[in-house]
């Protein structure tokens, strides 16, 4: 079984604190949310966090979470790694 932490609406300092927690607890993944509408762009944060990692074991991933109902463009949920 694998475990991860999801960091929703991540200011960079909070994301770093949460990533350090994930490393200490030996979690497998650290998720940073992505939204083109309501949250900060996550890829610069992920790039910065890669340089801050203390272990290559922790996998950093972005998550793009879909709407609660389908719109005209369909379901946009998915995961980018």
Q: In the chain, how many domains are there?
A: 1
What is the per-residue pLDDT across 26-35, written as a single tens digit (0 to 9) for each?
999 998 887 7
- Whether residue 49 lies inside any domain: the answer is yes
Token pair 């998720």 is found at 31
4: pLDDT confidence band, cut at 50, 70 and 90? Answer: confident
Question: Are 61 and 31 contacting, i.e. CB atoms less than 8 angstroms apart?
Answer: yes
What is the per-residue pLDDT across 8-19, written as a single tens digit (0 to 9) for each?
766 788 889 999
Best CA proximity match to 62, nearest among 15, 28, 30, 17: 30
Tokens of 32: 């940073």
Question: Which are the contacts of 10, defined by CB distance < 8 A and separation ≥ 6?
Answer: 18, 32, 33, 39, 40, 42, 45
Structural domain that includes position 13: 4-65
- Whether residue 15 lies inside any domain: the answer is yes
- Whether residue 77 lies inside any domain: the answer is no
- Whether residue 38 lies inside any domain: the answer is yes
What is the per-residue pLDDT across 47-73, written as a single tens digit (0 to 9) for each?
999 999 998 889 998 876 555 444 444
Query: pTM score, two decimals?
Result: 0.70
**Can you give the length of the chain in residues?**
81
38: pLDDT confidence band, cut at 50, 70 and 90? Answer: low
């Amino acid at each position: 079984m694998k475990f991860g932490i999801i960091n929703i609406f991540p200011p960079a300092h909070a994301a770093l604190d949460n990533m350090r927690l994930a490393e200490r607890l030996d979690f497998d993944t650290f998720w940073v949310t992505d939204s083109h509408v309501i949250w900060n762009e996550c890829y610069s944060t992920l790039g910065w966090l890669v340089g801050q990692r203390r272990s290559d074991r922790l996998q950093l991933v972005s998550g793009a979470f879909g709407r609660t109902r389908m719109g005209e463009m369909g379901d946009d949920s998915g995961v980018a790694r």
